[in-house]
Amino acid sequence: ETGVTQSPTHLIKTRGQQVTLRCSSQSGHNTVSWYQQALGQGPQFIFQYYREEENGRGNFPPRFSGLQFPNYSSELNVNALELDDSALYLCASSFDGQGYGYTFGSGTRLTVV
Amino acid sequence: GQNIDQPTEMTATEGAIVQINCTYQTSGFNGLFWYQQHAGEAPTFLSYNVLDGLEEKGRFSSFLSRSKGYSYLLLKELQMKDSASYLCAVEAAGNKLTFGGGTRVLVKP
């Protein structure tokens, strides 16, 4: 059991570019949620995947999309990057979406210039 | 809608007690979480309240009143390492977490 790992840890992109962030879930966890945390603020829910299907989405535009794979690893894709997308992106895995069992990764710090 | 309020910042002295309040208005309620987050790191789980009352775990205690939409996190015998942000989060429908803005606690010697 290795916990939740995210890659890369830091990333700098230019406005208008596309980015893919990756998350490896904790062993046995079939649910992954992604959060955006701007500096000095609490995390904001982006979306959740359960058994490779999106089953909930927060107030984020369609240029934020995701995938979950059979091994329960997942990706967050952001197209047409904007300066306001600069944030810490956190993924959290759990079993059957049970919040009590949430395990967060250390996040990817994305800077858009 | 979802609304979770907590103070932005608090300062306390090493060895003292600090209470961080959280009020919430959410559509649905499954439980309330408190997380600790050091700068640039992942949130780490502190407590989970489902029923009204006080849950004690070592130096940390958390209280919930569902009828008042209110919770607090109590940190006793403060240590320098407790300097961090503390996040209140409500689990509502669909097991999604809605977070407050976080309370930055600064412990001074």
Q: What is the model's pLDDT at position B75?
A: 97
**Both tokens assigned to A78:** 């952001």
The beta-carbon neighbor of B31 closest among A42, A45, A99 is A99
Q: Which residues of B touch A39 (CB under 8 A)?
A: none
> pLDDT-based confidence at A109, cuts 50/70/90?
very high
Which residues of A fall below an 8 Å CB-CB distance to B?
4, 31, 33, 35, 40-45, 48, 55-56, 58, 88, 90, 92, 94, 97-100, 102, 104-107, 109
Question: Which region, left, alpha or beta, applies to residue A70 given φ > 0 means left and ψ of -120 to 50 means alpha?
Answer: alpha
What average pLDDT score do residues A42-65 get?
93
Asked if B99 and A44 come within 8 Å (Cβ–Cβ), the reply is yes
Q: Which residue of B has its CA nearest to A94?
A: B95
> pLDDT-based confidence at A82, cuts 50/70/90?
very high
Residues of chain B with pLDDT under 70: 1, 94
The beta-carbon neighbor of A45 closest among B33, B45, B97 is B97
Residues 6+ apart with CB under 8 A from A61: none
Backbone angles phi, psi at A85, to 5 degrees: -80, -10
Q: What is the model's pLDDT at position A72?
A: 81
d(CA A104, CA B43) in angstroms, rounded, equals: 6
Report DSSP letters for chain A, one per residue.
Answer: ----EEE-SEEEE-TT--EEEEEEPPTT--EEEEEEE-TTS--EEEEEEETTEEEEE-S--TTEEEEE-TTS-EEEEE-S--GGG-EEEEEEEESTT-GGG-EE---EEEEE-
d(CA A47, CA A56) in angstroms, rounded, equals: 5
Nearest to A97 by CA among B86, B90, B47, B91: B91
What average pLDDT score do residues A22-38 get?
91
Asked if B95 and A97 come within 8 Å (Cβ–Cβ), the reply is yes
Q: How far is A21 from chain B (nearest CA, A)?
A: 16
Residue A1 pLDDT greater than 60, yes or no: no
Q: How many CB atoms lie within 10 A of CB A72?
A: 21
Nearest to A71 by CA among A51, A48, A90: A51
Residue A99 pLDDT greater than 90, yes or no: no
Asked if B97 and A41 come within 8 Å (Cβ–Cβ), the reply is no
The beta-carbon neighbor of B30 closest among A4, A90, A99 is A99
What average pLDDT score do residues A54-66 get?
94
Q: What is the model's pLDDT at position A100?
A: 67
